Structure 1
Amino acid sequence: MDKFINFMEKYFIPYASKIGNQRHLVAIRDAFTVTMPLMILGALAVMFNNLPIPAFQNFMKSIFGGTSWTGFGAAVWNGTFGVLSVFIAFLVAYNLAKGVGKDPIGAGIVSVASFFTLGAATTGMNSSGLFIALIVGILVAEIFTRLVGNEKLVIKMPDGVPPAVATSFASLFPAMITISIFGLVAAIIAAFGVKDMFAAFYTAVQEPFMGLANSYGSALFIAFITPFLWFFGLHGANMIDPFMQAINAPAIAANANALAAGKEAPYIVNKPFIDSFVNMGGTGVTIGLIIAIYLVGRRNKPYMVVNNLAAAPGIFNINEPLMFGLPLVLNPIMFIPFILTPMVCVTTAYFATSFGWVPVATVMPPWVTPPIIGGFLATQSFAGAILAAVNLVISVVIYLPFVSLATRQEMKKEQQA
């Protein structure tokens, strides 16, 4: 194990760190972080409208006389998921421009303008336009920030002009050139007979990508790579978050729309699926580790001190005390269960869902929702809560022998001391 760790520290960690700190990925991750409350609210609005409890549905209909009561949820969805791509187009460009110190507000506004120049007002504002929004945000930031720094494009204002006005005129020509470029792109695409770029792109690229990411193999990879990176001290969740969010929002929206239309939800793998059935207690299903330590690790004083501090945060899926206090980072004894447990849990969750034993996750609870409760909310079913409970038991069983081994080693150290 020591040779493996040394090898990874020498050849893998430097490159993985560079990828994790790559500015475009960081900008995308931070953009989705800002919009996360909106996505949760939108998902809860869909849950409110489609709560699968006949008594609730009948009660609401009896009060409001029909389905008019669903207007609340529809309005909230329109203000969240319905314009998600617009927010992302702005925030990605904003974050990238801010990172290089070049007029982030201007870059964000130009990005939104360029996004609408491509025809987003027709079908691209919701999650179906998410991939194009990411591309537009990145390209606008790269073009605009380079043009803003060009002295030949700056309109010099006389002394005494307010700074806000001077800044606005300094960005005038860069903004005009950038938006015009996207206008030219839109005209060229239209010349090829593409009436709706967003619908065509979604059908050709985004939807197949979501289907590929919806496979068991992708779910298994997500369950593996996140704790694997964490083991070496890299924030695995943050590093794969851009990938997860790129498929997450469209998948949740597609599932919600399918249920609203009385159809079967098409996408199993999404963020609420991973959060509710795999990341219970945090990456590595560490709620199971906390319970295992209380069961067989009471004689391990260092473990118990950390565990007592980590128990309360762990209920809300915060496991940094375990990561760096136990620690789990570079802990050779815990390497196997830390990697294996989420892979086993994602396997049981995926096949339980694909076999129809548990409904597809269609609602995104806040990531701090305690285990089991999160399973119920994500699937709107007690079957989801039962599946989460089963995975919780599995995680405890896997961690038990390794906690016992660590405890025996600690006892030997105390005896030798």
Structure 2
Amino acid sequence: MEGIFMQGFIAFMEKHFLPVAAKIGNQRHLVAIRDAFAYTMPLMILGAFAVLINNLPIPGWANLMNSIFSEKIKGTYIWTMFGGNIWNGTFAILGIMIAFLVAYNLGKSYDVNPVASGIVSLGGFFAVGGAAGMDASGLFIALIVAIISVEMFRRLSGNKHLVIKMPDGVPPAVAASFAALLPAMITISVVALVTTFFNAAHVENVVTAFYAAVQKPFMGMANSYPTALLLAFITPFLWFFGLHGANMIEPFMQTINAPAITANLAAMKAGKDIPYIVNKPLFDSFVNMGGTGVTISLIIAIFLVGRKNKAYMTVTSLATAPGIFNINEPLMFGLPIVLNPILFVPFILAPMVCITVAYVATAVGFMPACTVMAPWVTPPIIGGIIATASWQGGVIAALNIVLATLIYLPFVYMGTVMEQKREASQA
């Protein structure tokens, strides 16, 4: 009876849910945002590590370094300036990078000059007051300006009366700049005019006003446990139907993550309580261990009770090495997990249990909030230690692996028994 219900559920979802989800996953604006953040990820990781070095949670670290490198410049110890300079080249310009990269990717998807699209977006961002939000505080406005400016720019570029054509023989870069001249001027002028209207309404700076009115409250709501639980559910749920859940929710995750990480690092530098529990390192280091669905625990469960299942063991033997580095496509499509009714429940349940444990452990103060973006391929447990800069993070990551393994065990055993019965009937 349960099998019939599950088959009916999968058939219903394939008919009604998958087409809509696939369209959302391929929506050009969301793809442009996702890819833009992918480009910035190395810099965000570097910036987080730089701040961590300056603020290692080791008793006496700061005093030791201050005694060794005692020279100061304008009241700042010179040894801390290296990390500060890295910060200036990473998190401090995140808004600028996103304004350019989103527009670049979006323009490229429309087959419009991507460099010109990025430059126009950058000009529009500063026209609305982006100088006051070059870091993560200007992130939402950067996204909005990038999308609007490219939509305007591509339509204007399609008007032959606004395109200045240069004669043959002119260098391509010069010809492209003249072709974009009038559309770019009009686009930035319109953005500047709209900003002027806001100024006339006594909004001194659009970026800072938007951050105070919308972005900061949104981050507060996204920092809640229900939101964390929802995110832990959505990613494996989409993956179960063959959709790359992590990629699909990446734009939303990053709009939460970047400002939250920035605020957490700033609080750590100032010696204050870290404000945001929910961020990407929390998921990467305590939920997506082995990949979406805490599949490192599925691997362990198969080695414990699935050895008599030849299909499980063949795939798992090949998937173990990638799984240690949080790559689980071999399991997704090899076992498979995708559209596998036996693994549906643990694949969804394990991440929700893990995010609950990690959230509670942070909320009660057992482990610090995540402040470091460890590379997503960092092995489990090590990632928890790095993300929280504490041994407690390693303990919680290990606990989550154990709990997720216990969740997977009965289902792996069930799958093994079913496979043995199938083999026996064939024999």
Q: Same fold (TM over 0.5)?
A: yes
The question of 1:142 aligning with 2:135 is answered no
**Which runs of structure 2 are paired with 1:65-214 in the superposition (5 Å)?**
65=70, 67-121=77-131, 123-214=132-223
Structure 2: how far apart are the matches of 1:130 and 1:227? 27
The one of 374, 381, 389 equivalent to 2:398 is 389
The one of 22, 29, 43 equivalent to 2:27 is 22
Structure 2: how far apart are the matches of 1:15 and 1:270? 27
Contact residue 165 and residue 179 of structure 2 kept, 8 A: yes
Post-superposition offset of 1:58: 3.2
Structure 2: how far apart are the matches of 1:223 and 1:160? 56
Which residue identity does 1:87 align to in structure 2? M
Structure 2: how far apart are the matches of 1:413 and 1:128? 58
The question of 1:287 aligning with 2:292 is answered no
Between 1:126-135 and 1:49-58, the stretch displaced more is 49-58
Structure 1: how far apart are the matches of 2:127 and 2:137? 17
Post-superposition offset of 1:135: 0.3
The question of 1:54 aligning with 2:64 is answered no
Structure 2: how far apart are the matches of 1:397 and 1:4? 26
Contact residue 289 and residue 380 of structure 2 kept, 8 A: yes
Provide the residue aligned with 2:238 in structure 1: 229
Aligned length, in residue pairs: 416
Q: Secondary structure at the match of 2:369?
A: coil
The question of 1:43 aligning with 2:48 is answered yes
Post-superposition offset of 1:352: 1.2
Contact residue 128 and residue 205 of structure 2 kept, 8 A: no
* Deviation string, structure 1 residues 43-88 (Cα, Å, up to 9, x no partner): 1111111111134333322221163211011110110000011110
Q: Secondary structure at the match of 1:54?
A: coil
Unaligned runs of 5+ in 2: 1-5, 72-76
Structure 2: how far apart are the matches of 1:408 and 1:158? 75
Provide the residue aligned with 1:216 in structure 2: 225
Structure 1: how far apart are the matches of 2:423 and 2:55? 58
Provide the residue aligned with 1:12 in structure 2: 17
The question of 1:350 aligning with 2:355 is answered no
Between 1:65-74 and 1:322-331, the stretch displaced more is 65-74
Provide the residue aligned with 2:375 in structure 1: 366
Q: Secondary structure at the match of 2:342?
A: coil
Q: Secondary structure at the match of 1:365?
A: coil
Q: Secondary structure at the match of 1:264?
A: coil
* Deviation string, structure 1 residues 328-376 (Cα, Å, up to 9, x no partner): 0000000000000000111111111111111111111101111111111
Which residue identity does 2:66 align to in structure 1? K
**Which runs of structure 2 are paired with 1:244-255 in the superposition (5 Å)?**
244-255=253-264
TM-score by length of 2: 0.96
**Which runs of structure 2 are paired with 1:263-282 in the superposition (5 Å)?**
263-282=272-291
The one of 321, 326, 346 equivalent to 1:312 is 321
Structure 2: how far apart are the matches of 1:368 and 1:341? 20
* Deviation string, structure 1 residues 272-308 (Cα, Å, up to 9, x no partner): 0111111111100000000010111111111001101
Structure 2: how far apart are the matches of 1:204 and 1:76? 30
Structure 2: how far apart are the matches of 1:315 and 1:293? 15
Alignment identity in percent? 67
Structure 2: how far apart are the matches of 1:71 and 1:233? 47
Q: Secondary structure at the match of 2:368?
A: coil
Structure 1: how far apart are the matches of 2:88 and 2:67? 25
Structure 2: how far apart are the matches of 1:143 and 1:208? 29
Which residue identity does 2:270 align to in structure 1? A
Which residue identity does 2:26 align to in structure 1? N
Structure 1: how far apart are the matches of 2:13 and 2:129? 47
Structure 2: how far apart are the matches of 1:119 and 1:293? 55
Which residue identity does 1:43 align to in structure 2? A
Which residue identity does 1:70 align to in structure 2? T
Q: Secondary structure at the match of 1:86?
A: helix
Which residue identity does 2:16 align to in structure 1? Y
The question of 1:328 aligning with 2:337 is answered yes
* Deviation string, structure 1 residues 354-404 (Cα, Å, up to 9, x no partner): 111111111111011111111111111111111111101001110011111
Contact residue 49 and residue 372 of structure 2 kept, 8 A: yes
* Superposition CA RMSD, Å: 1.0
Structure 1: how far apart are the matches of 2:166 and 2:386? 57
Structure 1: how far apart are the matches of 2:54 and 2:124? 34
* Deviation string, structure 1 residues 150-199 (Cα, Å, up to 9, x no partner): 10001232333222222111110001000101111221111111222222
Provide the residue aligned with 2:74 in structure 1: none
